[in-house]
Amino acid sequence: MPIDQNTFATDLADAVALLRRLPPARDAVRDAHRRVRDWAAERPWLRADLVVDEPPGTTRVGYDLLLEHPEGGTVALSAEVDDGVPWLVDHSTHWAAGQVVNVDGHGLSIFTALSTIRALGARDRQLHERLVDHCILLGEVEDDTLTVAETQQAADEFRRRRGLTTRARTLEWLADSGLSEDAFREHIKTQARIARVRERFAGDPARRYLAGHPERFTVRRAAWVTGPRPEPLRALLNGPVTEFANRVTATLLAPGEAAGLRLEAAATLTPRLPEPLRDIPAGTAAGPVPYDGGHLAGVVYEVVPPDPESPEVLDAARDTAFQAWLDERRCASEIKWFWL
């Protein structure tokens, strides 16, 4: 609806008062976002957006509030109650310089993004998607007190995935990654809260997803070989499917024939197999196809329907339903990249 200048002037005064009341502590940013969302819900014509500056080396943050002007354009308000210097001026930079991405109004700062990337511990082809997913999940988590068991489970899972079996190895990994122990603890708490979001899809939601997609949770007995070039893999597919693993083994044992080849075999849930083997029928082969920087060829010996009471199957259904929800949220989100 049209807004006159008097109404906008009143909104500006209210916005300044709101900014001055926002908590400056880094661990209270989520509360600041909540306050601004509540305030903005009563003034939808302003399309208010809160921007947070999280400078490294301090526990305090600064805020900007962006408001849509009734005649077009955007008005940016800054308020600093301590030294009177807005963080925008203090850092002599554009307001978006401290932000990497904004998803549905929830921003991800450079500091948080870098900490998340370091915590991943490896380069990832889907890094952009994972940052967006992390931003979405930050908007879902709640500040409820975590139990010791939840925090310990998140820490154990983090270390397990990276082979950090001792405290000494964990500290060495943190040093190599540039993460402090405090940053690690905060990351673990966030992961524990994200685990709570994932658990929303356990139980009945997982059973419903399994009932709707049983083919995704079959158990497949398969073998596959990877290598840098497709030609040697194509030769290994010549012959009966049942003898595939024997042909690969013979090639691996032959002098000079196994350069770069790697054989793997498993009887496991379909989602845990390489993607080229997830859809083919029992008794058939796939490949060679590009895979993980090289090529893959493989066979599926047997396909067993999922057991709806198997804890392993239900856990996989929970995780897949959770990821499907996250994919839908990402597709529906308004995403603004500032740096990447």
Q: pLDDT band at 82, cuts 50/70/90?
A: low
Percent of the chain with pLDDT over 70: 85
Max CA separation in the chain (angstroms): 86
Name the helix (H) or strand (E) containing 208: helix 204-212
Q: pLDDT band at 210, cuts 50/70/90?
A: very high
| DSSP character string of 214-238 | GGGG-EEEEEEEEES-HHHHHHHTS
Lowest mean pLDDT among 82-91, 150-159, 200-209, 321-330: 82-91
DSSP state of 83: T
> What is the per-residue pLDDT for 117?
63
Q: pLDDT band at 39, cuts 50/70/90?
A: very high
Q: Is 209 left (phi over 0), alpha (psi -120 to 50) or beta?
A: alpha
Q: Residue 109 above 80 pLDDT? A: no
Q: pLDDT band at 127, cuts 50/70/90?
A: confident
Q: Residue 4 above 70 pLDDT? A: no
Which of residues 82 and 76 earns the better pLDDT score? Answer: 76
Q: Residue 2 above 60 pLDDT? A: no
d(CA 129, CA 329): 11
Q: Residue 208 above 90 pLDDT? A: yes
d(CA 26, CA 32): 10
d(CA 21, CA 17): 6
Q: Residue 88 above 60 pLDDT? A: no
Token readout for 73 is: 């354009």
Q: pLDDT band at 89, cuts 50/70/90?
A: very low
**Residue at 243: amino acid letter:** E
Reported as a single tens digit per residue, the pLDDT across 249-275 is 988 887 766 678 889 999 999 988 999
Q: Report the number of secondary-structure helices (H) and strands (E) in the chain.
A: 12, 10
Q: What is the phi/psi pair of residue 244, to 5°?
A: -60, -50
